[in-house]
């Protein structure tokens, strides 16, 4: 059947890709013609900031970001259709005068080639800290032959003040090491399962349904086109994986990871078959590339090698878009497939692609690589350093450890090592995965500074840069410390950032099993990760979680980065519930679930009533003694009671924040009743901006109002109402219903409100 003009227009509209419109800083490339000949004209409702030719003028610093509606009119065969795109244009960054450059100190070994820090820390006239690249006199790689103290000056680009470093040259200066043996072991290898009755279980089930609906040949389309292979009649992908998008290929990597994790959780044969097909066909693409002119052995991608060439020549976004980021998603997917399905072909593909990266980066200098990683968006590389550390641990190939270290980013790592918060203005999800990579490098080498970098980073993000739901950032960027109240907009808390913060939290917990790590994990998982996905089996995810007044969730499946991490997240809810040592079992998260402690031949089933989140029941079977360690959550304020087999017992909380119960019988029923009540939490930077919470749940007010709700602080006594779930009203505003944030679907809501007296 011949296509009608309407069909042609609709198809061309779907294929249009204008870039990431959530954070626009550069001119847009607006096409005048669609793929099938549709004529396109553009208009803007605010030409001061966005002209019809795509020219962007960013608002001056201090004016604020601007939302512009860009309308495309599509014409074909006498028919016209319109589509409006919402474009978020970021304000210009303000100029900060530098008043101080902090002096660095390093201890090095005499007679050995030393790599000096490629970044220094600066203090602005506003008191805030930043980092910048530096070039030291004599070069950034030097040999110091004599023992003693050496002082060097350095030049910071576009800054008048010099940098200074004090170098202590000694006969012996070894890298400090730390044990890489984890303190606890996660029960995340498929032995833990969610049971019915929670939103987490439903989200996981919806994801499985979605995965089974995906056309795998569409996921392979871009790779086959690039490799010159038959696309087997598949349609081209859309959104961030359209043929016009320079990030294409990343969703396929996320999808492969999600399939591997899904098989771990479900052992579903259909899911395994889909995974095996993706791996097999990507292997065919990799083989085809090796036979094409201009390609090098091992290359795998959804486009040519050109983006990598351009990055090395200094190209910037939007001319290129993060090629190593996309490659990381593919390599991570291959390793997940290997870990959870023992797919050797996936490992071999990753090894070949990994060697391609090694050969490419090894011919560049440290300075050249640092310049690439310092390039906003274009140089983003995800957590590829973690992937290479993993490849090294699997294969023992030294080239992979060398490659992992080639991604060391001194602009971030040096300040973290010095314990200085320079996060303001940095792209959050560009840098969180790099820190996860630090943990990978620590595990591979035992080098303590990598662990310390990750530990300090986690501390400042969770302590000074997060919202009440655990999310971080506005318009993808870290804001200044302790200032969340000033950044409550519709563009808060990118989903990807929270996904990666949970990965980092889990890794740190393995080496230091303290309750505060799992307090954050619970906050973020309960109030962002599960709250940010569509409650229907669409695979859609909310990119920004709108914490400004009157926000509305807008789950989308435009193959964005958050769509990718959203797919994976639904298969990760079991990963941090239970951990164990030789003789201890940790219960970290309170979710309907069951697990088997294989080494002890012990079976545990946990039941939690969502309406009474402080009441936990654990049924334990197995003829062995061990210590049951149950997290004492921050929200109970240390008040709880414990019953073992219906008998009240005294169980103390240890210094790590865990309640200890000595378990001896073949069958035990342990009940914990944590105090659970309404509480207020404050937005940092303001004593008047508050949020309500109940147990682990952050509450949201359902209201169409678009400015802050104002509540009288003298007349606030929230009360739980109804029997259909957690629902609350406040006596001073009986017209407003408050519900757990994850229960909100398509209605406008308020997490934060203003206290007035």
With tokens 């016009």, the residue in question is 244
Structure-block tokens of residue 412: 């971030």
Q: Quick count: other Cβ atoms within 10 Å of Cβ 667?
A: 11
Quick check: 255 and 335 in contact, CB under 8 A?
no
For the stretch 721-738, pLDDT in tens is 776 678 998 877 888 999
Which CATH fold would you assign to the domain 578-674? Answer: Immunoglobulin-like (2.60.40)
Sign of CA dihedral 51, 57, 63, 64: positive
With tokens 């060398």, the residue in question is 402
User: Cα 541 to the chain's mean position, in Å?
Assistant: 13
pLDDT of residue 715: 62
Give the burial class of 498: count Cβ atoms within 10 A of its Cβ; 0-12 exposed, 13-18 middle, 19 or more buried: buried
Could you tell me how many residues make up the chain? Answer: 757
List, in sequence order, every residue forming a beta bridge with 164; answer none if it has no partner.
Answer: 153
Quick check: 661 and 630 in contact, CB under 8 A?
yes
Q: What percent of the chain has pLDDT over 70?
A: 99
Fold agreement (5-89, 578-674):
yes
Q: Which residues contact 687 (CB under 8 A, 6 or more apart)?
A: none
SS3 state of residue 698: strand
Quick check: 49 and 68 in contact, CB under 8 A?
yes
With tokens 């591997």, the residue in question is 260
pLDDT of residue 60: 84
List, in sequence order, every residue forming a beta bridge with 177; answer none if it has no partner.
Answer: 447
pLDDT of residue 502: 99
- Tell me the C-alpha distance between 692 and 738, whole Å: 9
CATH architecture of the domain 5-89 equals Sandwich (2.60)
End-to-end CA distance of the chain: 69
Domain boundaries defined on the chain: 5-89, 98-170, 214-405, 578-674, 678-756
Q: pLDDT under 70 in the chain at which residues? A: 713-716, 723-724
CATH number of 98-170: 2.60.40
- Tell me the C-alpha distance between 357 and 385, whole Å: 11
pLDDT of residue 444: 98
Mean pLDDT of the chain: 96
For the stretch 387-407, pLDDT in tens is 999 999 999 999 999 999 999
- Tell me the C-alpha distance between 121 and 420, whole Å: 8
For the stretch 615-663, pLDDT in tens is 999 999 999 999 999 999 999 999 999 999 999 999 999 999 999 999 8
pLDDT of residue 724: 66
pLDDT of residue 557: 80
Residue 633 DSSP code: -
Which residue from 169, 162, 115 is spatially nearest to 134, judged by alpha carbons?
A: 162
């Amino acid at each position: 059947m011949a296509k009608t003009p309407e069909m042609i227009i609709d198809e061309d509209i779907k294929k249009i890709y204008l870039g990431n419109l959530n954070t626009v800083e550069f001119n847009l490339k607006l096409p005048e013609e669609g793929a099938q000949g549709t004529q396109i004209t553009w208009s803007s409702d605010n030409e001061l900031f966005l002209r019809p030719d795509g020219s962007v003028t960013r608002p001056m610093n201090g004016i604020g970001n601007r939302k512009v509606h860009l309308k495309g009119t599509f014409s074909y065969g006498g028919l016209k259709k319109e589509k409006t795109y919402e474009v978020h244009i970021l304000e210009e960054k303000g100029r900060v005068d530098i008043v101080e450059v902090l002096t660095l100190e390093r201890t090095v070994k005499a007679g050995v080639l030393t790599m000096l820090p490629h970044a220094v820390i600066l203090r602005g006239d506003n008191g805030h800290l930043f980092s910048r690249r530096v070039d030291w006199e004599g070069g950034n790689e030097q040999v110091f032959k004599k023992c003693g103290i050496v002082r060097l000056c350095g030049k910071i680009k576009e800054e008048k003040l010099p940098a200074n470093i004090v170098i202590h040259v000694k006969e012996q200066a070894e890298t400090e090491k730390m044990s890489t043996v984890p303190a606890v072991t996660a029960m995340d290898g498929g032995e833990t399962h969610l049971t019915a009755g929670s939103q987490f279980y439903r989200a996981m089930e919806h994801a499985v349904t979605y995965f089974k609906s995906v056309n795998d040949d569409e996921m392979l389309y871009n790779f086959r086109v690039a490799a010159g292979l038959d696309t087997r009649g598949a349609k081209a992908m859309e959104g961030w994986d359209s043929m016009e998008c320079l990030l294409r290929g990343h969703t396929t990597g996320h999808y492969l990871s999600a399939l591997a994790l899904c098989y771990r959780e479900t052992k579903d044969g259909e899911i395994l078959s889909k995974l095996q097909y993706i791996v097999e066909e990507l292997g065919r693409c990799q083989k085809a590339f090796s036979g094409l002119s201009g390609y090098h052995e091992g290359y795998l991608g959804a486009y040519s090698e050109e983006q990598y060439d351009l990055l090395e020549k200094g190209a910037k976004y939007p001319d290129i878009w993060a090629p190593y980021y996309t490659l990381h998603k593919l390599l991570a997917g291959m390793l997940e497939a290997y870990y959870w399905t023992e797919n050797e072909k996936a490992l071999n593909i990753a090894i070949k692609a990994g060697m391609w990266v090694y050969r490419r980066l090894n011919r560049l200098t440290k300075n050249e690589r640092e310049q690439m990683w310092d390039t906003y968006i274009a140089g983003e590389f995800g957590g590829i350093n973690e992937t290479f550390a993993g490849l090294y641990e699997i294969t023992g190939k030294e080239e992979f450890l060398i490659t992992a270290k080639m991604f060391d980013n001194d602009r971030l790592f040096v300040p973290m090592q010095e314990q200085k918060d320079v996060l303001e203005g940095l792209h959050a999800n560009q840098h969180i995965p790099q820190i996860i990579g630090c943990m990978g490098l620590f595990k591979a080498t035992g080098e303590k500074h990598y662990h310390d970098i990750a530990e300090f980073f986690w501390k400042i993000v969770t302590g000074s840069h997060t919202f009440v739901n655990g999310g971080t950032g506005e318009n993808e960027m870290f804001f200044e410390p302790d200032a969340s109240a000033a950044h409550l907009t519709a563009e808060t808390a990118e989903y990807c950032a929270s996904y990666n913060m949970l990965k980092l939290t889990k890794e740190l917990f393995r080496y230091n099993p303290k309750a505060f790590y799992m307090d954050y994990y619970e906050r973020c998982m309960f109030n962002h990760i599960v709250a940010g996905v569509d409650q229907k089996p669409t695979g859609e995810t909310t990119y920004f979680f709108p914490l400004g007044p009157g926000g509305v969730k807008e789950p989308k499946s435009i193959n964005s980065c958050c769509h990718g991490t959203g797919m994976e997240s639904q298969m990760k809810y079991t990963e941090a519930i239970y951990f164990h040592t030789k003789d201890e079992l940790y219960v970290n998260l309170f979710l309907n679930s069951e697990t088997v402690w294989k080494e002890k031949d012990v079976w545990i089933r946990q039941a939690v009533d969502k309406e009474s989140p402080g009441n936990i029941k654990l049924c334990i079977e197995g003829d062995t003694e061990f210590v049951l360690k149950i997290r004492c959550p921050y929200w109970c304020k240390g008040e709880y009671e414990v019953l073992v087999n219906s008998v009240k017992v005294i169980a103390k909380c240890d210094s790590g924040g865990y309640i200890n119960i000595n378990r001896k019988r073949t069958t035990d029923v342990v009940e914990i009743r944590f105090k659970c009540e309404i509480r207020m939490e404050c937005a940092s930077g303001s004593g008047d901006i508050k949020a309500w919470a109940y147990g682990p749940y952050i509450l949201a007010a359902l209201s169409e109002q678009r400015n802050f709700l104002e509540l009288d602080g003298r007349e606030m006594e929230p009360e739980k109402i109804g029997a259909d779930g957690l629902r609350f009203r406040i006596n001073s505003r009986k017209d407003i219903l408050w519900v757990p944030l994850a229960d909100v679907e398509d209605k406008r809501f308020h997490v934060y409100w203003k206290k007035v007296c």
